[in-house]
């Protein structure tokens, strides 16, 4: 369960954030004694990020919220993760740094972008 300050009070988003953080934890354990990380595991992590970002985009568009800056932030993050994952194909030495990066990125991103999106979504539901 995410700490209170990272909850945005839009259930669909909060559930996915919870799921993502839980996945990162299990990914860390899974990778502990496996090198290289199987392709399907790397794809699962990447796919989860893509799918979450699509959820936020869909919610924003359906509420008529401008999503361009937020979308840029998602795309830059995906680019970084994608590069790191492909370099890890033969060696997962940097895996823990990547997992820490993703966790840290999400904390900052939720506070800076997702909470703002949630406020706009809540306003659009009320009106
Ligand atoms: Fe998010
Ligand atoms: Fe986001």
- The pLDDT tens digits of the residues spanning 58-98 come to 999 999 999 999 999 999 999 999 998 888 766 666 788 89
Q: What is the CATH number of the domain that holds 122?
A: 1.20.120.50
- In DSSP notation, 7-74 reads --S-HHHHHHHHHHHHHHHHHHHHHTT-SSPPHHHHHHHHHHHHHHHHHHHHHHHHTT---HHHHHHH
**Per-residue pLDDT at 91:** 66
Structure tokens of 15? Answer: 């559930």
Tell me, in angstroms, the distance from the centre of ligand 2 to residue 65's CA.
Answer: 13
94 Cβ contact list (under 8 Å, min separation 6): 84, 87, 88
Structurally, how many domains does the chain consist of? 1
Domain coverage including residue 24: 4-126
Rounded to two decimals, the pTM is 0.91
Tell me, in angstroms, the distance from the centre of ligand 1 to residue 86's CA.
Answer: 23
């Amino acid at each position: 369960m995410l700490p209170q300050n990272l909850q945005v009070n839009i259930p669909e988003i909060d559930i996915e954030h919870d799921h993502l953080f839980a996945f990162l934890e299990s990914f860390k354990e899974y990778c502990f004694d496996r090198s290289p990380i199987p392709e399907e595991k790397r794809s699962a992590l990447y796919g989860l990020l893509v799918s979450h970002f699509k959820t936020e985009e869909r919610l924003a568009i359906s509420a008529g919220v401008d999503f361009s800056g937020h979308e840029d932030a998602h795309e830059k993050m995906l680019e970084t993760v994608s590069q790191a994952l492909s370099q890890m194909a033969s060696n997962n030495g940097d895996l823990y740094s990547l997992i820490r990066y993703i966790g840290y990125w999400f904390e900052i991103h939720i506070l800076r972008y997702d909470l703002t999106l949630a406020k706009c979504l809540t306003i659009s539901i009320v009106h």
